[in-house]
Amino acid sequence: MNATANTVNNIPVITIQEPGAKATNAQLRVIGHAVKENQLERFDENAWKNMTKGQAAEIITKLYADHGELPASQAQKTKLGDLIRRGFLKGLKRETYQNLTSSQAKRMIYKGLQNETANRTVEGYEPREPLAPRAPMTERQSERLTQLVNDGFLSRFNYGFFRKMTHEQASKYIRLGKWRQANNQKSA
C-alpha cells in the first residue's frame, strides 16, 4: 500500500492493492462503526456483502474528509477501561475518555497490551482485593443507584431489597442504568 499526502487538504491518498477484491474486515469495521454513529446510511445486505476494497477505501476517505477522525468505538473504550482497571494504563479524565478518537484509542490499547505482555503495571497501581461473595454494596454504589433512579433511568427499588443489595447486584443495576442513560431510555 502506498500513501502520499494530498497537499490541498492533508487527506492521505491511499493506493489500494487489488481494489476489486472483497473488502477487508478492518475496512468493514470502520464503515460499520460509522453507520452506528449515524455518519453513514445503512447499506442493503447485498451491497454490504459484495463491497470491494476499492469501494470501502472511497467510503472511508470520504468519511474522514466529511467528519474528521472517527470516535472510539464502545469495544475500544471497554478494552481501555479493562487495561486501566488492571493497571496496564494510567487512568483518563472522564472528558478525555468520552472524546477519544479511534486512532487515539488504538494507540493506547496497543501500549496497554505491550505492558500486559511484559507484565508491567503503571507507577502507583495497587490491585484491589477481591470482594467476598455476597459483599454488601458500597456507599458510592448506593449514591449512584439513587441518582439513576432520580434521573428516571432505573425504577424505584423495594426498600428491603435495596438495603440488602450485594455489590454484584448493585454493579449490574448500575451498568443497566448507565446503558439506559447513554441511550437516553428512561425506565417505564
Write out pLDDT tens, residues 149-159: 999 999 999 99
Can you give the pLDDT at residue 2?
A: 42
Can you give the pLDDT at residue 74?
A: 84
Mean pLDDT of 109-123: 93
Mean pLDDT of the chain: 86
Is it the case that residue 41 has pLDDT exceeding 70?
A: yes
Q: Contact, 61 vs 28, CB < 8 A?
A: no
- Residues 33, 71: Cα–Cα separation, whole Å: 9
- Residues 153, 27: Cα–Cα separation, whole Å: 35
- Residues 138, 149: Cα–Cα separation, whole Å: 17
Judged by DSSP in three states, 101 sits in: strand
Per-residue pLDDT band at 6 (split at 50, 70, 90)? very low
Q: Contact, 61 vs 14, CB < 8 A?
A: yes
Of residues 132 and 41, more confidence is placed in 41
Q: How many Cα atoms within 13 Å fall on the side-chain side of residue 91?
A: 6
pLDDT per residue as tens digits for the range 15-34 = 778 889 999 988 898 898 88
Q: What is the dihedral of CA 10, 110, 34, 2, to 10 degrees?
A: 40
Is it the case that residue 179 has pLDDT exceeding 50?
A: yes
Mean pLDDT of 44-50: 92
